Structure 1
Amino acid sequence: MSPQFVLTIGRDALTILLMIAMPVLGVVMAVGLLVSIFQAVTQIHEATLAFVPKLVAAMVIFAIAGPWMVSTLVDFIRRTIESIPSVVG
């Protein structure tokens, strides 16, 4: 196993991680910003008002993008496992 191969697998893993995390993080960040603006305008500072919408948005994104996330992870894992014989032998 060459150092180049290890670095390639690590880079691919980080790329897949970012691709999978971005939809959820982006939507939760946008919802958090909107809730913060709403709280600042109305001067309502309730902790559940900040938490619940972000939780609901994350669940909706997982429901919508979940199959894509799982298939992307399965493809990466399949490629990694299938490359084991070429690395060992």
Structure 2
Amino acid sequence: MGPESVIDLFRQALLVIILLVSIIVVPSLITGLIVSVFQAATQINEQSLSFIPRLLVTFLTLILAAPWLSSIITDFTHSVFDVIPQLIG
């Protein structure tokens, strides 16, 4: 087990984490930006107006992307289990 293989496994894990989080967070950020521009243009200063659309978009994104996200996690887990004998031996 060399340090290169551990670093490569750690790099793959970080890339999977970044991919999964960005799929969930980016639509929420875009929605928050659109609502903020709308609030600035209309001078409506209501906190729930920015919270509720972001919450709904996040839930909708989770519902729509759940099969793809679970396949990404499953593929990474299978690849880790396949590499374990090489890391040990």
Amino acid at match of 1:88: I
Q: Could you tell me how far 1:67 is from its partner in structure 2? A: 0.8
1:74 aligns with 2:78: no
Amino acid at match of 2:34: L
Larger RCO (CA under 8 A, 6+ residues apart): 2
Determine the structure 1 residue equivalent to 2:86: 86
Amino acid at match of 2:68: W
Q: Deviation string for 1:42-68 (max 9, x for gaps)? A: 111111111110000001111111110
Q: What is the correspondence of 1:1-89 to structure 2 with a 5 Å cutoff?
A: 1-89=1-89
RMSD: 1.0
Cα separation, 1, equivalents of 2:45 and 2:34: 14
Moved over 4 A (4+): none
TM-score (normalizing by structure 1): 0.93
Amino acid at match of 1:52: I
Report the identity percentage: 34
Could you list the runs of 5+ residues in structure 2 that have no partner in the other structure? none
**SS state of the match for residue 83, structure 1?**
helix
Cα separation, 2, equivalents of 1:88 and 1:2: 10
Could you list the runs of 5+ residues in structure 1 that have no partner in the other structure? none
